[in-house]
Structure 1
Amino acid sequence: MTEFSPDDLPDWDLLAGSVERVPAGIELVAAGIVRELRGRRAVIGMPGVGWRRDLRVDNPVVQASRTYVPVLPEQEWYRAEAEQTEVFAPLVPLERVWVERTSPTVRPPEDADIVSRLVSLDAPPSRPPRRVRDVSGVTGLRVVRVPGPDDKAGRDERDLRAVTEPYNSAEGDICVRVCREVEWYRWGWSGQIPKTMEVPTHLLWVE
């Protein structure tokens, strides 16, 4: 077997073009200012205490003059949507719910030291995109596939999950296999193997 080191591999980011395409990051906004909540990714929690992610929400309901948001773990939400079944969703006070939205102002940090990562506990922090090559342990993480350097009109592809770590493909590219998020969750509740696709790492970002 021929041995090689990472230094022997080409710089795929440079081969992809001199201008790196960076997907928009994720910011969290209070659910009360969002008109349509159904199906949105959400975070619940309490300032100064902590946050719970990987949730989906439905439109608010009012009970006893107080507004609540139905909240489900993502796997249960995907299963209910895929199988068209009714599920019980706990109700969370509106003021304890934030929803995700993409924002081009949320950019990768220039520094990766612990000081640059400090956040306020007043609200859930934004999620800047991270290069797959910079993240250890990407299997199961949400990823964004950006268009190649020659695809000027292409759009970012979201709702994907990584199902492998980076590997050297038959063509010599450093790749990660990904699948649609609904298939990732279906794999968990039914055991059905998802359809996956091979994507070069220079086109993938962790969301």
Structure 2
Amino acid sequence: MGLSDNASSSAFDVPAPPPALVPVRASRAFDLHSSRVVAGAAGCGWQFDLRADDPITRDGMLLVPLISEADYYRAVDGDGDAYASLVAADDVFVQRPEPGTGSPRPGYLIERLSDPDTPPVRRPYPASDVPGLIGRRVWYWTDGAFRDDFRCVSEAFEVDGDFCVRVVEERAWYRWQRTGTVPKAQDAYIQHLWTQ
């Protein structure tokens, strides 16, 4: 724990927001292995926190194997097999970062309306504008770059006049859920965090 002394992560650095995550139909994407995806269908709704593997063809239909994020990290840790659901490629969308699409502040409801029959663009919002941070996946500006594999494990708090949030790597977050092994947390300046 504790704040990094790394100059590239000082409290005075306030980078531009990370990119929005734009849904791209899986049938038009390359190399789906381990990609974060959205699954669903028009008239129903959308599921997030899924991972994909490369598509397969069965009976002339293109299918994408999907597993939950929790099962993905369990498999990455070598803690058992993950069993995938096969979903029609037309119902799977890869979340691709689109540079230059950083988000505005969360607006009024009328500004946030979307088409329920298409997966939404996931815009990053400054963590300072978002209540209920515990458990949220965040973009974290560290060592001069964004990482998108962190989860918040605290709400905002103050350290020596700076506002911070405690974060852990997502892999450790899921291991903590699965095994009870407490992860190594670090304090991040709130202005270096954007929710996903």
The reply to whether residue 187 of structure 1 matches residue 176 of structure 2 is yes
Instruction: Name the counterpart of 2:164.
Output: 175
Instruction: Name the counterpart of 2:59.
Output: 64
The reply to whether residue 74 of structure 1 matches residue 64 of structure 2 is no
Which structure: larger Rg? Answer: 1
Q: In 1, Cα distance between the equivalents of 2:97 and 2:90?
A: 21
Aligned runs of 1:124-143 on 2, under 5 Å? 124-143=119-138
Instruction: Name the counterpart of 1:155.
Output: 145
Structure 1: unaligned runs, 5 residues or longer: 1-14
Q: In 1, Cα distance between the equivalents of 2:54 and 2:39?
A: 15
Could you tell me the percent identity over the aligned residues? 35
Instruction: Name the counterpart of 1:199.
Output: 188
Instruction: Name the counterpart of 2:4.
Output: none
By percentage of residues, which structure has more strand?
2
Query: TM-score when scaled to structure 2?
Result: 0.89
Q: In 1, Cα distance between the equivalents of 2:36 and 2:82?
A: 17
The reply to whether residue 109 of structure 1 matches residue 104 of structure 2 is yes
> 1:35-89 deviations in whole A, cap 9, x for unaligned?
1001000110001320011000111111111111111010011101111643211
8 A Cα contact 2:105 2:125, kept in partner: no
8 A Cα contact 1:21 1:146, kept in partner: no
8 A Cα contact 2:127 2:194, kept in partner: yes
Aligned length: 186
Query: TM-score when scaled to structure 1?
Result: 0.84
Instruction: Name the counterpart of 1:145.
Output: 140
For the structure 1 residues 27 and 132, does the alpha-carbon distance in structure 2 shift closer, same or farther, using more than 3 Å as the test? same
* CA RMSD in angstroms, aligned pairs only: 1.7
